[in-house]
Structure 1
Amino acid sequence: MSEIVNCPRCGDLYMSNAFRDVCSKCAKEEEQMYEKVYKFLRQRENRAATIERVVEVTGVDEELIHKWMKKGRLHATHFPNMGYPCDRCGAIISRGKLCAKCTQQIEDDIKQLKREEKFREEKQENERQTTYYAVNKKSFK
């Protein structure tokens, strides 16, 4: 569903949609910057350039380059020294949303949670099965 929002770059009002996250004026500027970056990276000697080098030469903001890499417009397979930050810790990655360390940490946390749940379930089951007998001293007289 579209709604009227302010452009995060220039502040102008525009109708938001699933295709653009900025107004049409800023989208055109971003497209021109993309062409500048892509033209720079297409040159054989620049394919191994780092993001810092691309920013230095083209003047394009680093966050825009990260955005293009996340969207798949620039591929890390073609430009091996480029990447974007992990959504969780900020480490530079070349694919996905999380780095390997964060992924492993989340998997370990899930395994630990499952072990704890299993332990609690077993403990509750054992408590249900345990029967206690009380001896009434009055009945033995």
Structure 2
Amino acid sequence: MGELATGGCQCGRVRYAVALDNDDAYLCHCRMCQRATGGVSIAFTNVSRSAVTWTTREPDRFHSSAIAERGYCRDCGTPLTFEYLKASEKLDLTVGSFDEPGRFRPTAHFGTESLHEAWLDTRSLPRQRSDEYAPLLERWKAADAKPG
């Protein structure tokens, strides 16, 4: 097996470790993924089911269609997996749930019938760092908390 990577949900209730064979990922633009995440697409990496170990507990699952279910944390709502209902040797893990998502590189688009072209190349848009945005920093300070 490959290099070990870890990840989990925002609140930490669901954690996993996975042996990765590569850093390939893809963007899914299908309407079901758009609705499941509230976004215009979602980034997944496809892995062997046997390479995944749920280190705290398994995710809760929602049967999102007649053929698939999605793993998520019931406490914080983080999307974690896409899995076919009929036995499959593979499953998809959400790239954003990895502790180090920057390691992945997009290699393909899927569900392109629902792709929103305007969201693909946003390099020319203005950029704002969250750690330099005064209104947000003031909210963290007022909550006597650190940005997380």
- Do these two structures clear the TM 0.5 threshold for a shared fold by scoring above it? no
Bigger Rg, which one: 1
Choose between structure 1 and 2: higher helix proportion. 1
Bin for the TM-score computed over the shorter chain: under 0.3
TM-score (norm 1): 0.24
Choose between structure 1 and 2: higher strand proportion. 2
